[in-house]
Amino acid sequence: MDLQVMAWITGQTLQNGKYTIQQELGRGRCAITYRVQDDTGKDFVVKTLNQDILSQLPDVERTSIESKFCDEALKLERCKHPHIVRVYRTFQDESLFCILMEYIAGIKLSDLTLPIPQQEALVYIQQVGEALIEVHQQGLLHRDVKPENIMVRAGKQQAVLIDFDLAGEFNNPLTSRWKDKQFAPVELSSTNRKQGAYTDVYSLAATLYVLLTGKFPATALDRLDDIAELVEPKTLKFDISERVNQAIVQGMKLDYGDRPQTMEEWLALLGIRRGIRVPGFPQTKAEWVKVGKIVGGILGIAAAIAGIISMTVDIGVWSPDSSSPSPEETN
């Protein structure tokens, strides 16, 4: 591998001119993502390992991280779910392994004005939770679930999980610094601790905590060292239901054995059953249009009735019958 290759710059081309770098979108533990355009002008995302990080690693560790990145990228390619970013293909450019993915127009959950209503938050959490169930069934973990890694498609109430930590359980001081500690359970701080679906449960519970309160929870490491305690979300925002409050607290237990062991179990604590959407909140633009049409139709009927009554009164077709006897006259 050519370790002299630096991060790509705007205007640089890949695959013999097929893709052109438009901008750098972000950096994770060991990878960089870019927005690119193909030769037809369509936008995509390309993710590749961070060469600057790789160049500082011993050969054995560098080979290990490259292997894990490739293997897990191929697994992610098999994850077909409406709430998981779509992977189109993988390729190599300048000896770097790259992943070509869907570009999602919209905003990140972290960019919303927080806190948001509980019903709205649960819609997003259900969508991401069901996406993670699919991820776990493929033998993968996300390992970096947080509002910044969840997109909301433009014009839709549809969350999409992005930016997987494809380095697997690889851990090194050069890469661990990228972890967002407010959302990371204890086991992500060390390769000596077992990781599983409950790892992503913690991070999604912490994400819900932030969506509902607008505040970051104490980090797992600070809680482990008795530096801080987890403040229950309901203490910060009284209108959070007790059921949701307890589900968040249970999902953020320090000991992974005390947490729900699967995403299905944690969603059940929230009162969410897989495949049954959270009621009372339109989730797509089409559904909002449908609601608007129904409300518009009702208002139109009401206006028509009011108009008919007004017209009949004006022309004397209908008026209170002044000749009708009063209650006193009938007695």
User: Cα–Cα distances in Å, from 145 out to 129, 179, 197, 205, 273?
Assistant: 10, 10, 12, 10, 21
DSSP 216: P
Mean pLDDT on 98-120: 97
CATH superfamily of 13-269: Transferase(Phosphotransferase) domain 1 (1.10.510.10)
Write the pLDDT tens digit of every residue in 198-251.
999 999 999 999 999 999 999 999 999 999 999 999 999 999 999 999 999 999
- Higher pLDDT: 111 or 288? It is 111
Q: If you average pLDDT over residues 253-281, what whole number do you get?
A: 87
Identify the bridge partners of residue 49 per DSSP, sorted by sequence position: 31
Which amino acid is residue 176, in one-letter code?
S
Q: What is the CA radius of gyration of the chain?
A: 27
Cα angle value 206/208/212 (rounded, 5°): 120
Q: Which helix (H) or strand (E) holds 106?
A: strand 106-108
Specify the 3-state DSSP secondary structure of 159.
strand
Half-sphere exposure for 42 (CA within 13 Å, toward CB): 7
d(CA 131, CA 134): 5
Distance between CA atoms of residues 292 and 310, nearest Å = 26
**Does the bond joining 115 to the residue before it have cis omega, within 30 degrees of 0?**
yes
Q: Where are the domains of the chain?
A: 13-269
Q: Is 151 helix (H, G, I), strand (E, B) or coil?
A: strand
pLDDT in tens, 5-40: 567 999 999 999 999 999 999 887 788 999 999 999
Q: What is the pTM of this model?
A: 0.79
